[in-house]
A and B are shown apart, each in its own frame.
Chain A
Amino acid sequence: QVQLVESGGGVVQPGGSLRLSCAASGFMFSGYPMNWVRQTPGKGLEWVAFISYDGSKKYYADSVQGRFTISRDTFKKTLYLQMNSLRAGDTAVYYCARAMNFHDRSAVDYWGQGALVTVSS
């Protein structure tokens, strides 16, 4: 079955960096676009970044553009989110999420369990 397992969350000071990883299993990782979506405790969902199935296209939310980088390693079947210049407003649970098929706009169907990132001094 499809499994997405995030790791790398934690507490970091403002201005610091953190890298999230998402280990994928149970499906052909190289054939699916992937996303990072975050959720502030008790609040709604905010899309953060998208990467196409082959890594050729990457899109970012305006709020993280220039600070966050999404990437994927096909051989390791792992999705990454490098987060730099972190701010208090980046505090959230970060979900790794898979798209249903190779089309960029296909619905996100599977989500990981989430990784909590707390930016605080």
Chain B
Amino acid sequence: QSVLTQPPSASGTPGQRVTISCFGSSPDIGTNAANWYQQLPGTAPKLLIYGNDQRPSGVPDRFSGSKSGTSASLAISGLQSDDEAAYFCAAWDDSLNGWVFGGGTKLTVL
């Protein structure tokens, strides 16, 4: 059972905007920044959003992140078939002195 809570699945049609939520608690998202990762089948995770809302170089601006209190969200606009992947949220947990992850959301592009 993951510390951070994400919906197991999400879906959308090409061009749509989808949002994935991530619920945490005070020691993790409530205190530290949320990060998001994209994982394509058979590959390692790729950093998509860090510091709640920052995009690493090379990540399209179709991907955006936000945080409010103890929850965070990832939004993907202009959905493309290439976006079909698993998405994980993560945050440092002050009580564990380590990273905690969400269980992952599998995004399907219909």
Contact = CB atoms under 8 A, between A and B. Distances in A.
Main secondary structure on A side of the interface with B? strand
A8 B32 CA distance: 33
Interface residues of A, number: 24
Contacts, number: 57
Contact of B100 (A35, A47, A59): A47
A111 B44 contact: yes
Q: Among the interface residues A44, A100, A112, A114, which one has the most CB atoms of the partner chain B within 10 A? A: A44
Interface residues of chain B: helix, strand, loop or mixed (majority): strand
Interface in B67-110: 88, 90, 92, 96-104
Interface in A91-121: 95, 100, 104-105, 107-114
Interface of B: 2, 32-33, 35, 37, 44-47, 50-51, 56, 88, 90, 92, 96-104
